[in-house]
Amino acid sequence: MSRSIAGKTAIVTGAANGVGLAIARHFLERGANVMFADIDEEKLESEVGSAEQAEVAARYFAGDLRQKLTMTNLISATMSAFDRVDILVNACRNVAPSVALSPEGDCVEEMLQHNLITSLRLSQMVAKRMIQQAGTAEDRANPATSIGTIVNLSAIVGSRVQKGLLGFSISMAAVDHMTRVLAAELAGVNIRVNAVAIGSVMSASLQNVLKDDSEFRTTLIEGTPLGRLAAANEVVETFEFLASDASGFMTGQILNVDGGRGILDVVQSPLH
């Protein structure tokens, strides 16, 4: 099956920085129409340009995706620009340290809202749009026809215990299981749902930590079998693969892209 995503339309959240930005740029380079979505309008405009100056295949949408109306407007803007949506990449996530024994400081509610609820609600809304544009019920039921793909950004702390990240870890575990449940629920209408769990990857959050903590950089590298940190653009082809027909028989999978960290003992650190 083809790995091409050329001509398809993708919404990529968290697309102003880090991994989300790298994915959106890569999809654009591979010929997809891309809606860059993020809350940081200034950064989006600097990356994509104004609507008049942007490439025909690139648009941006700024807003707080924790709000249902913002999600509705994002989908409407995508349909207005490109007439359809074929791919959703939920790369918008937040990381915060947790005080495990403090209900006020464990960040659980905050992390679940940012990382789980937002991705879940947007996935539900986009899936409905994918179903509507797919044509007849017979078309949607044809096992040879994929009507859309959803790829979630996760982290290896979703399956590995790590101190100092209670809220974030719980939210990533929830994202992983959401991926599996949605995959099972949506398989009947030929929408595939997968996730990529990263570790030792220079996401925006990791970059912020490493600016002030060179000791942690050393610890992280020593805990990564490949002996280095990955740039954000080293994970983008995994997202492309999961968004394309090349992974047409894959759904409900969480792929680790972590330099081998997942096969070693836990690295004690303030971040994933």
Q: Domains along the chain?
A: 9-260 (3.40.50.720)
How do residues 231-269 score in pLDDT, each as one tens digit? 999 999 999 999 999 999 999 999 999 999 888 755 444
Q: Tell me what the mean pLDDT of segment 103-110 comes to.
A: 76
How do residues 148-181 score in pLDDT, each as one tens digit? 999 999 999 898 877 778 888 999 999 999 999 9
Q: Tell me what the mean pLDDT of segment 220-227 comes to.
A: 89
pTM for the whole structure = 0.91
Q: Tell me what the mean pLDDT of segment 47-70 comes to.
A: 83
Please report the pLDDT score of residue 138 as a whole number: 63
Q: Residue 137 has which token pair? A: 């019920």
pLDDT: which is higher, 146 or 225: 225
Query: Residue 105 pLDDT more than 70?
Result: no
What b/e string do you get for 205-214 counting C-beta neighbours within 10 Å, with b at 16 or more? Answer: bbeebeeeee
Please report the pLDDT score of residue 52 as a whole number: 47
- The residue to which tokens 């407007």 are assigned: 73
Q: For the chain, what percent of residues have pLDDT higher than 90?
A: 66
Query: Residue 208 pLDDT more than 50?
Result: yes
Please report the pLDDT score of residue 212 as a whole number: 66
Please report the pLDDT score of residue 270 as a whole number: 47
Query: 117 phi and psi, to 5 degrees?
Result: -60, -45
Rounded-to-integer distance, Cα 54 and Cα 168, Å: 35
- C-beta separation of 255 from 242 below 8 A: yes
